[in-house]
Chain A
């Protein structure tokens, strides 16, 4: 299976702390994307990192990609209660045109 896997499955932190989520995959990719989902609703695209990029920033988000280890991490700095959601990584694999999603990390940020 090409499916990515997020780690941890669930993460509970206090407001102001940083949250780090990891994603691993099995086959070579064109790009990797992170999405956020609130309470079983639609997903919101957060950030896309291409296979030739190593790090990308967007506001309080920082994504890294290590293609040699086939892994990525999403860092949310200075977390807020509103960041509480499920976070999914999705990979676009070489030779395919559809995304493969992991099972997600549930993040709970307590005030």
Chain B
């Protein structure tokens, strides 16, 4: 069974540009989560999509947005890039979203560098 995949592996942008990151969940998983892992800050929750809807978002500005497609894959868009957006962006998927069990399976991440 294929795991969570993310593309691209690395992305280099300049300040003010837009970045688009993509994630394909494990087959059958309906929930997709996005996290930002900046150096020294641990994982910060960004967005949660389930069944095509945004269910929750973390404490990030509106220039961080995304969507989930009918096949449950997801896209994270970051507009007006700033230097501090440089980080590893991790996508995770899960099957159960009842609140009792929420084991998440992570992709390898996209390393975004903003120059």
Number of interface residues of B (CB under 8 A): 28
Number of A-B contacts (CB under 8 A): 67
- Would you call B88 an interface residue if the criterion is a C-beta within 8 Å of the partner chain's C-beta atoms? yes
Known A31-B101, A44-B106: A88·B56 in contact at CB below 8 Å? no
With A41-B108, A42-B109 known to touch, is A102 a contact of B42 (CB < 8 Å)?
yes
Residue A40 at the B interface, CB < 8 A?
A: yes
User: In the assembly, what is the distance between CA of A50 and CA of B90, in Å?
Assistant: 25
Q: Please report whether the interface of chain A is mostly helix, strand, loop or mixed according to DSSP.
A: strand
Known: A42-B90, A88-B42, A103-B42. A48 touches B101 (CB 8 A): yes
Cβ of B99 and Cβ of A45 under 8 Å apart? no
Contacts of A41 in B (CB 8 A): 108-109
Q: How far is the CB of A101 from chain B (nearest CB, A)?
A: 4
- Among A95, A99, A103, A104, the residue within 8 A (CB) of B104 is A99
Q: Which residues of A contact B (CB under 8 A)?
A: 3, 30-31, 33, 35, 40-45, 48, 50, 88, 92, 95-104
Which B residues contact A (CB, under 8 angstroms)?
4, 33, 35, 37, 40-43, 45, 48, 55-56, 88, 90, 92, 97, 99-109, 111
